[in-house]
Structure 1
Amino acid sequence: LPAGFVLAAVLEREDPRDALVSSKYDSLAALPQGACVGTSSLRRVTQLKNMRPDLRIEPVRGNLDTRLRKLDEGQYDAIVLAAAGLKRLQLEGRIRQYFGVDEMIPCAGQGALGIEIRAGQAPLAEHLAALAHAPTWLAAAAERAVSRELGGSCSMPLAAHAVWAADGRLTLSAALGHPTQPERALLRAEAAATVSDLDQAEGLGVAAANALRERGAAEYLKDA
């Protein structure tokens, strides 16, 4: 965060999955050979190309309504969006397929809302603390640590998603695609640990980032 600001709360996560939206096709598998899929996320591009190398993937810009309009006008056979955004705007009915988080790993913090305030605002922070959802906050902290360790930005196809197990352990899955050759194999890593505070969560993220480095992340990152 910028100097002088702090994260006061992270709210309970909405659906973290990515979703396929189409006016004609019910799933990714149903798309015809060479179909045009719209997304401006390099993370989604690399994961889609690893699942369906034949697809023609084109950027899609604008707010959610604009993207859906472009789809309905026939500019794309399908588009991929965050399920959370569609659900929050009561557009869940447009979703044709949800991608499992192990099938298309979300970006760090996907579906989670954070409240940022100026540092030193103790009374405000106390009021906002009631909104915090600790499991989401810890999971998001682990995910964001992966991004921070690897220098994540909008030009890096990096994914990180953490899931809680019944025994209290947090499992963090991460993936890195090649920024200019999206058809190249994804680098994948996983780390798990018992997590009860932010330091432990961030340590888990560092472990996952180091595992990606061991799998050759440096070669991919130099082209980002």
Structure 2
Amino acid sequence: METTNNGQRTIVVGTRQSALALTQTGQVIEELKRISEKHGLGYSFEIRKIVTKGDRILDVMLSKVGGKGLFVKEIEQALLDGEIDIAVHCVKDMPYELQEGLMNGAIPKRVDPRDCLIMKEGSSLNDLPKGARVGTSSLRRSCQLKNVRPDLQVESVRGNIDSRIRKLETEGFDAIVLATAGMIRMGWEDRISATIPVDVSVPAVGQGALGIECRVEDPAVRELLSLYNDEETSLVIRAERSLLGALNGGCQIPIGAYATVRQMSTDSAALELELTGIVGTPDGSVLLKEMLRGSDPEQLGRDVAAALSARGADRILAEIEG
């Protein structure tokens, strides 16, 4: 925490230093400024760039780097050390268990959670020629793409969103798979060749959502972030992350989860969530999928995880992580 000469608090916001991370952090800060002014809180904000392990290791598939929280550990440590006051993460990069003393203070409204294709030619997955080379570092994406198109040559591609798009030309790929939300936040929607329906590629846990992390013992920041939280997004993310926790999964293994609010009104008893979860083998030969509905997000996540485990998800994940 820092203060200015007039005693006003400056909230230091930690983020990765990629173009996407800085863009979405800037968007978060603009919203927090608006909220701060609206409620007379008088805060100012500054950005602190932090390099994470996942940013340093770019020549290895994420699934082989090992460990959980590849893109958040160093940022969380800065929070605990008081070097920053809040951290902006993509929820899909966050491990289920946050470090003790930290919490998700806000999950703002989710952007389009679907995967998308950036292609040399064509406007749908079916337009890719037989044996096309497709780049992705995600086992989840590879699993589901190979399940519907076993002919595809899915190969690892790492780097920031802009460098991965460049590799479409420089490394001879026919298509690159990215998160639609990242393209939207960068203002690059016109570069998307096709979005992939969620019934073809179930998104990563929390894809399209941001997690704004803070210290538990910082009531002023917690109050500010509570005004930024989107209730509906928070509910569906809780369900998806509950599934992740129940399967003891990291963010880079082939687990997908997508929850929606089926009913939501002023009558809380009318609330119903629908959660679809998938676990599969990297080669796409096995793809387990379960969908359930319920009103308790955490219980729903556990129930879908249990249904997947009963069909062999635990064995698949153990083999991959082993």
Corresponding residue of 2:290: 189
- Per-residue CA deviations over 1:96-125 (Å, capped at 9, x if unaligned) read 111111221001100011110011111111
Of 215, 220, 223, the match for 2:311? 215
Deviation (angstroms), 1:191: 1.4
- TM-score (normalizing by structure 2): 0.65
The letter of the residue matching 1:161 is Y
Corresponding residue of 1:202: 298
Higher relative contact order at CA 8 Å, sep ≥6: structure 1 or structure 2? 1
Corresponding residue of 1:40: 137
Deviation (angstroms), 1:74: 5.2
1:27 and 1:207 map into 2 onto residues whose CA distance is: 34
Are 2:180 and 1:83 equivalent residues in the alignment? yes
- TM-score (normalizing by structure 1): 0.93
* 2:125–2:196 Cα contact (<8 Å) kept: no
Are 2:218 and 1:117 equivalent residues in the alignment? no
Deviation (angstroms), 1:219: 2.3
SS at match of 1:104: coil
C-alpha change, 1:123 and 1:155, in structure 2 (3 Å) is closer
Aligned CA-pair RMSD = 1.2
Percent identity among equivalent residues?
Answer: 43
Are 2:127 and 1:26 equivalent residues in the alignment? no
C-alpha change, 1:25 and 1:74, in structure 2 (3 Å) is farther
1:154 and 1:117 map into 2 onto residues whose CA distance is: 20
SS at match of 1:222: helix
* 2:239–2:297 Cα contact (<8 Å) kept: yes
Corresponding residue of 1:175: 278
- Per-residue CA deviations over 1:138-188 (Å, capped at 9, x if unaligned) read 100110111111111144200001011135310000000114xx2312011
SS at match of 2:314: helix
Larger radius of gyration: 2
* 2:247–2:314 Cα contact (<8 Å) kept: no
Are 2:196 and 1:99 equivalent residues in the alignment? yes
1:154 and 1:128 map into 2 onto residues whose CA distance is: 24
1:62 and 1:50 map into 2 onto residues whose CA distance is: 25
The letter of the residue matching 1:214 is A
**Which sections of structure 2, spanning at least 5 residues, go unmatched?**
1-97, 264-269
Runs of 4+ in 1 over 4 A off after TM superposition: none
SS at match of 2:127: coil
- Per-residue CA deviations over 1:66-101 (Å, capped at 9, x if unaligned) read 011111335200011000000000111111111111
C-alpha change, 1:155 and 1:109, in structure 2 (3 Å) is closer
The letter of the residue matching 2:290 is A
1:140 and 1:189 map into 2 onto residues whose CA distance is: 17
The letter of the residue matching 1:26 is S
**Corresponding residue pairs, total:** 217
1:53 and 1:129 map into 2 onto residues whose CA distance is: 45
